[in-house]
Each structure stands twice: as C-alpha cells, then as structure tokens.
Amino acid sequence: MSNKVEKSEQEWKEILTPEQFKVTRQKGTERAFSGEYYNLKDKGVYKCTCCGTELFSSDNKFDSGTGWPSFWQPLKEENVATEVDQSLFMKRTEVHCSVCGAHLGHVFSDGPRPTGERYCINSVSLTFEPES
C-alpha cells in the first residue's frame, strides 16, 4: 500500500470540485443515476479521485440497478477500508480509501457471488483509467 496522503481541508478544497469535496471529504452522496460511471461498461481500473490509489476493477463491476457503480470486491483489499456508519438512523458499513481517507460509499451484503458483497460507490469519488 502507498504512503498515507494527508492534506488540510483547504488543500482538498483547492484540488477537488465542490461536489468531489462534499462527497469524499464530508461523506456526502451523489444522486442516484447521476454519476459518470454508474453505467460505464468499459474495461479498466477505478481509482480514488483524491489520491489516485487503485480501488476497483471493471472485472468486478456489476449492474446493481441502484444508480451507483457497484462492485463485488475491491481490486486490492488493503486499499479499501470500512467502518460502521450510524448516520441517518441506520447502521451501514462505510467504505473509504485506505490511503487518503476519502469517503467512497457503502458496502452491503446483497451482492452477487462469489463474495455476496455490493460496494455501492459514488462516481465522483472515482476516476477511471481505461485498459490500454
């Protein structure tokens, strides 16, 4: 895993769009079906929009029908971390980048085999690098 990336709130505001900042640094959520990658079917790797860490592969992406990009497993387990999120009167599992702490989305236990997991990720938290 890469070295930790730490920046001040002001530094993040200077390099991220307002929506990227709201989602990745303030744990916001983009509207369903509004993100750039929810319906993308190209082959490649999805990286953290804040620090460029490789997070998910198109090989593990599936159409969950939820309106957000969904993956059944991370590309590298050590690059994605989880923690309990009890906001909005629910108990969920938040997903974030292990390198910079960016909020990515949530993981649920209603995904496809082989893991049964659905990593429901905000498009704005990601950048996509197509296969060459």
Please report, for the chain, the start and end positions of each structural domain, with discontinuous segments joined by +.
9-130
- Count each helix (H run) and each strand (E run) in the chain, helices first: 2, 9
Q: Is 120 a catalytic residue?
A: yes
- Over residues 71-97, the pLDDT tens digits come to 999 999 999 999 887 776 777 899 999
pLDDT at 88: 66
> Which residue in the list 50, 97, 100, 120 is annotated as catalytic?
120
Q: What is the pTM of this model?
A: 0.93
DSSP-based helix, strand, coil % in the chain, nearest 5: 20, 30, 50
Residues of the chain short of pLDDT 50, as ranges, are 1
Omega cis (within 30) before 18: no
Q: What CATH fold (topology level) applies to the domain 9-130?
A: 2.170.150
pLDDT at 91: 79
pLDDT at 2: 53
